Amino acid sequence: MFTIQIRKNIGTMLVGIFIVLTVKAEDGHSLWLRRETPKPVKVVCSNKSAILDQAVKALRAGWQGESGAMIRLRVEKDKAIKDDGFKLSPSEIQANTAAGILYGVYELLRRQQTGQVPENAVVNPSYQRRILNHWDNLDGSVERGYAGASIFWRGEEALSVTAEDRKRWEEYAEANASIGINGSVLNNVNASPKILSRNVLEKVKVIADVLRPYGIKTYLSVNFASPTILGGLKTSDPINTEVINWWKAKVKEIYALVPDFGGFLVKANSEGQSGPQDFGRTHVDGANMMADVLNPYGGIVMWRAFVYSPTDNDRAKQAYDEFMPFDGKFRDNVIVQVKNGPIDFQPREPFSPLFGAMKKTAIMPELQITQEYLGHAYQLVFLSTMWEECLKSDTYQEGPGSTVAKCTDGRIFDQKHTAIAGVANTGLDTNWCGHQFAQANWYAFGRLAWNDELSSEQIADEWLKLTFKNAEGTNSQTDWDSDFLQPVKQMMMESHDAAVDYSMPLGLHHIFAPHAHYGPGPWWAPEKMRADWTPPYYHQADTIGIGFDRTQNGSDAVGQYHEPLASQFNDVDKCPEIYLLWFHHLPWDYQTKSGRILWDELCYRYDKGVRQVRAFQKVWDKVQHDVDEQRFKEVQSKLRRQARDAQVWKDACLLYFQQFSRRPIPSELERPVYDLEFLQSADPLSLYK
């Protein structure tokens, strides 16, 4: 948009014309698929399918190459191309599958739009199945959702499908296809048995039909007790013949409606969910029964390893202890789905020791895109750096270089299926994700799922160019790369470490206020509450020191890691400081690598996090001329809240822990601005509303 201002100086009769270039208004709904006016392109494709039709449509809608160029799309087998990979050249895309052509088209368009040369290359995906887990409920709510109601469900009695629904699903599907995501689990892992009722399955069919032309398979989370609750059987015992036959009939019904159905995601014997242990059976018994039922149709079972029970044992050890004895006993169409860390999507965790340890079982990482423990949709936290930290961590299971990525993507262990899952952050909000920058985490998951060797810096660079650069409207007097791209990218790259510093530095974890998992609550410990549901269980603060002792002299969680990690984590002098209090209970006067005692180092870390978020505000305010007004103001407002939240975290944690350390906050640091009593009585979610 152009605004022309004309000023007339009557005394000199001179007319000055000042052109102010403003950026076209946007609301974020287009995500990273904002497009300039396409140039003409001739597309030649001899094959026919719904997916190829979408590929041709996308190419014509987004072409920014030479005007009138000809691009050939060719489905033809090539041994160098794996799964849904593709061979790319400036004039041709070749793939073994129609989906491969579609992904090749979006790769070509992305390279054009981000200024990368579309050179000759074979591009193969790291994981075969790249899946979003939606924690959506049939009533339309979304567990740990911060971007509005479900895009799929509006209530068990509201199963009709509108034109608006279809349009939203098509937009969602294209966004996924553009970053290589090829699967969607449509409902919550805390699954209602009604998801398998006939009327709901008929809606699943409609959703699957909309997603299919974009290369996306549909999956469902199922409740293990469905044969009893939905089917009326007396038991859901996985070795019971009636139960097996019930599942066979239900799976047959599903595939009659959705022939390319992907399979089941199962949360069993965890947080009150039913599972095979209810009947004296094992995870293997339950998973293999379902796998056998799905196998004739090509379906898989994703069996979650997020399990813990109320015992005196260290919660961080329980998944490993429960699943390791079953290595090699699962069917080859069972994939054990493991959260990136051993606790529960904390701001920072060491990688789960199950990665690489289960050598005879397919393992898939589960990452959380929605920011349950990292500020919901109120805080700017780029999660790619956290995921990259996990995927590139060395497990040493097969010697140096045995990274989590290599142990799960098929490069080290031979497994029939490879997969990775991300807990989605999409909802009915106009911008899909609640926070404009939360879109970057959806984008980053897709890009890392496709290529687990990508750097977060490259991903951030791509996303910013696709999401904010506007060649038709950006002020030509500015250098967009230096004025906008570089400072904002640096802000994204620093954002995760900043959030860790102002909330849980040096390996502290799970010290949130209860229920919403938002804001500090290190003091929260109601009587008769399970210990491992309370923050004091994790921080173990006392007058001697702070931290959870997981060394050989403590819970020995270090023993679940392969050498040399076990010894490294066990030795306080060698343990990385980012995990220091995860593995060690240390005295307040322990000397850290900075030369400061532990108490002072904690104070400095909290203060650093607060100062970084304040600096993010300055970065964003300086780029106002390069961002449309609506998105600029939305992000600006969220950064203000984040700065206030960071102050709350700092004040709450330091004032609370100071009761144990009995030491002053270093005089050179800013003083707390809140009283501990006020923060202990306040609701962190509503504190600033």
Active-site annotation, residues? 271, 344, 372
Dist. CA 564–CA 390, nearest whole Å: 17
Mapping DSSP to helix (H, G, I), strand (E, B) and coil, where does residue 380 land? coil
Dist. CA 266–CA 229, nearest whole Å: 16
For 120-153, letters b (16+ CB in 10 Å) and e give eeebebbbbbbbbbbbbbbebebebbbbbbbbbb
- CB half-sphere exposure, 402, CA atoms < 13 A: 21
Give the C-alpha distances (Å, rounded to integers) separating 571 from 390, 402, 455, 509, 580: 21, 22, 30, 20, 10
* Token pair listed for 409: 């993507």
* Token pair listed for 640: 């203000």
DSSP 8-state code for residue 484: I
Closest CA to 585 of 534, 540, 535: 540
Dist. CA 194–CA 137, nearest whole Å: 10
Dist. CA 484–CA 471, nearest whole Å: 13
Q: Detail the DSSP E strand segments found in 471-525.
A: none
Which class for 6: exposed (0-12), middle (13-18), buried (19 or more C-beta within 10 A)? exposed
Closest CA to 506 of 593, 435, 438: 593
Closest CA to 468 of 491, 496, 500, 446: 491
| φ and ψ at residue 98, rounded to 5 degrees | -65, -40
CB 117 within 8 A of CB 111: yes
| Percentage helix, strand, coil for the chain under 3-state DSSP, each rounded to 5 | 40, 15, 45
CB 189 within 8 A of CB 135: yes
* Token pair listed for 146: 């911060």
CB 159 within 8 A of CB 203: yes
CB 142 within 8 A of CB 128: no
Beta-carbon count within 10 A of 171 CB: 16
Mapping DSSP to helix (H, G, I), strand (E, B) and coil, where does residue 30 land? coil
CB 201 within 8 A of CB 163: no
Dist. CA 328–CA 312, nearest whole Å: 28
Cα 529 versus chain centre, distance: 30
Give the strand order in the sheet containing 121-123. 41-45, 69-75, 92-95, 86-89, 121-123
Beta bridge partners of 42: 70
